[in-house]
Amino acid sequence: MKKLLLVIFISVTSLSCTEKKIKMQAYMSPSCGCCKKWVSHLEKNGFEVESIFRENMRMIKSKYNIAQDQISCHTGVVGSYFIEGHVPASDIKKLLDENPDIAGLTVPGMPAGQNVPGMETVDTNAKYNVLSVRKDGSTSIWNIYN
């Protein structure tokens, strides 16, 4: 019996060690519902998100130098990167794995679709791109969804 307990103890502790959460912050307006849904999508996919509520989101966008045509509702921050809008967790993980010298990722606007985390308000998939934003503000395509 003692041995069995020890085995259970070891497997439980090793499980919690391998499950290392990725910490990030998410700035959003307190009234934003889709922002909160995006946060739960991240939390279900290995992130530990600190939600920070701000009435004035424009200040956050300008702090991270996010251009007008690249902005969305919430702004996430992970390491030195900003994550603007409804970027899927897998794209953020890829960013952290590859660690490129860029400013961040964005899904501009608010595309609605089953394949847009936090924006599953319609039954169909959205056609949208995740853009990578260089430090000079120029963008390229990071991932294509359709």
* Residues at the interface with Cu ion (CB under 5 A): 34, 73, 110
Q: Minimum distance from CB of 88 to Cu ion (Å)?
A: 13
Q: Minimum distance from CB of 86 to Cu ion (Å)?
A: 6
Of residues 5 and 145, the one with the C-beta less far from Cu ion: 145
Of residues 30 and 100, the one with the C-beta less far from Cu ion: 30
Q: Minimum distance from CB of 38 to Cu ion (Å)?
A: 7
Going by C-alpha positions, the residue among 80, 87, 86, 141 that lies closest to residue 119 is 86
Going by C-alpha positions, the residue among 118, 102, 104 that lies closest to residue 60 is 104
Of residues 58 and 134, the one with the C-beta less far from Cu ion: 58
Report residue 97 as tokens.
């794995």
